[in-house]
Amino acid sequence: MPITYTIGAVHDKLALVRAIAQGYQITLAEDGCAEVTSPEGNVYFIYNFECDCPDKLLRGGLHEGRCKHEIWISQMTPCPLCDNVMYIGEFHSSFGEVLQRFECRTCGHTLAAETILHTRETKQNMNQVA
């Protein structure tokens, strides 16, 4: 997704940390599938990165065809080792590069963001064929 947001930036409305700081409740069922409850109590369902909120359905998504809910849940994925959620983060490699990876705060498992994105692309392509 060619959408830019700043990971971990509470002032960036597309960053997951901001959503959580504002009081959104996000329950992830599987990668790309989640239930989002707004602080006002509105509930949105996202299936395979397609949200049913008015922004998406009526306005086609304000962020390059995406609504903020879809962008938020792209920043999380279920941990394959435990039942908790991995969140995207940045770290600096020993070569000075800034890399993105998903991290599980419960078991400490990490996955390169590229791995997750590749899995998602494969899944999207399979859905298009089906």
Whichever of 18 and 56 has its CB closer to Zn ion, that residue is 56
Lookup: tokens for 18: 């901001």
Draw the binding track, 28-67, toward Zn ion (x: CB under 5 A; -: no contact).
-----------------------x-x--x----------x
For 34-68, the DSSP string reads EEEE-TTS-EEEEETTEE-SHHHHHH--TBTTB-H
CB closer to Zn ion, 9 vs 81: 81
Query: Residue 85 CB, nearest distance to Zn ion (Å)?
Result: 8
Binds Zn ion (CB under 5 A): choice among 16, 26, 73, 79: 79
In angstroms, rounded to a whole number, what is the distance separating the alpha carbons of residues 83 and 80?
7
